[in-house]
Amino acid sequence: MLSVAIVGCEQIHAQDYLDTSLADPRVRVVAVASERDPARAQRLAAPHGLPVLDDFAQLPPVDLAFVTTAIDDHEAAVTALLPRARHLFVEKPLAVSAERARSLAERLAGRSFFSGFYLRTDPALQQLRQLARDGAIGTLSHLSLTAGHPGLLEGWLSEWPAHLDEKRMGYGTFGDLAVHLLDFSTWLTNQPLTVEHCRLEQDARWPLDHGGEALLWAGDLPIHLRASAALRGPRLAIRLDGSAGTLELSAGRLLRHDAQGNQQVLADDVAPGVPQGATAVFDHLLGRTRPELASLADALAANRLLDDLYRRT
């Protein structure tokens, strides 16, 4: 059985990692800790009778620690956890800048590391990737991806104040969402990405960008990204065009269109989410290898692209 701790309660997915851990019979949650917001840690832990800590250095040894502090606090949390956790799951992005990510990666080198790039772990998206790489739609010509949610419109994102503070989270709302699309595009194409253009969207109602769009390239393949925390409708859409057809994830359905326009439903009820990523980590640590999980190098690549999108290089 894996012993697990939730370390930091400023990142919105702290609740998801806690819930997923509690629901998995292979996992035992040892503690919930937050130095910045112990009151929130208490609210998360109290329904389950879990110990609450306000000092990461007090954490007992555990198999796995989920680091869900604000991104700006990752270095401090990792420093405290290196002697206490056999495996570290550090939420994405790795750091608030590529430079700080490189520095943190040096400290993490040689350690068992995971991050929150959960799109890789969804079976339907793995199928999409394999079909594309096997040439099922011919030579790839265009990739477009959209991710979002209505969290700013509906107010629930504002319940997590760190997410409205670009200094603490590193990149604003567009970066927080687009980082998943950056990682998935790199994983799908197996090529490094380059940024040609990025446009951020601002609104006086919120203190940071609420979304944006970008054009990138994977070799000769153009990639269009769109991400927003003020988006109604499906949270994820992907379209991959090729010389012999199209693969498309739309409204939870994975579809294939051949060159004649015939449609085939490959999967229904596709809903990639944080629990899939956490469960994949549990699988991996308990002997069922999950080779798709992102590496430290993948996390560094995502940070470099975020710097490029936000024109910090």
CATH number of the domain residue 284 falls in: 3.30.360.10
CATH number of the domain residue 38 falls in: 3.40.50.720
Name the residue type at position 252. Answer: G
Could you report the per-residue pLDDT of 234-280, keeping only the tens digit for each? 899 999 999 999 999 999 999 999 999 899 999 999 999 999 999 99
Q: What is the DSSP letter of 91?
A: P
97 located within any domain = no
Verify that 60 and 149 share a domain, yes or no: no
Verify that 80 and 153 share a domain, yes or no: no
Closest listed residue to residue 121, CA positions, set 301, 278, 4, 297? 278
Could you report the per-residue pLDDT of 13-56, keeping only the tens digit for each? 999 999 999 999 999 999 999 999 999 999 999 999 999 999 99
Verify that 34 and 172 share a domain, yes or no: no
113 located within any domain = no
Reply yes or no on whether the pLDDT at 74 is more than 90. Answer: yes
298 located within any domain = yes
Verify that 79 and 149 share a domain, yes or no: no
pLDDT given at position 82 = 97
pLDDT given at position 67 = 98
pLDDT given at position 233 = 86
Reply yes or no on whether the pLDDT at 178 is more than 90. Answer: yes
Residues spanned by the domain of 162: 119-309
Sign of CA dihedral 3, 110, 58, 162: negative
Closest listed residue to residue 178, CA positions, set 203, 124, 215? 215
107: tokens are: 């400290």
pLDDT given at position 261 = 87
6 located within any domain = yes
Helix (H) or strand (E) holding 88: strand 85-90
Verify that 125 and 266 share a domain, yes or no: yes
User: CB–CB of 281/112 below 8 Å?
Assistant: no
283 located within any domain = yes
pLDDT given at position 113 = 98
Domain boundary among 91, 110, 136: 91
The per-residue pLDDT of the chain, averaged, comes to: 97
Name the residue type at position 131. Answer: L
226 located within any domain = yes
Domain boundary among 91, 110, 134: 91
| Cα 277 to Cα 136, 182, 303, distances in angstroms | 27, 16, 19
Verify that 74 and 130 share a domain, yes or no: no
The total number of structural domains that make up the chain = 2
71 located within any domain = yes
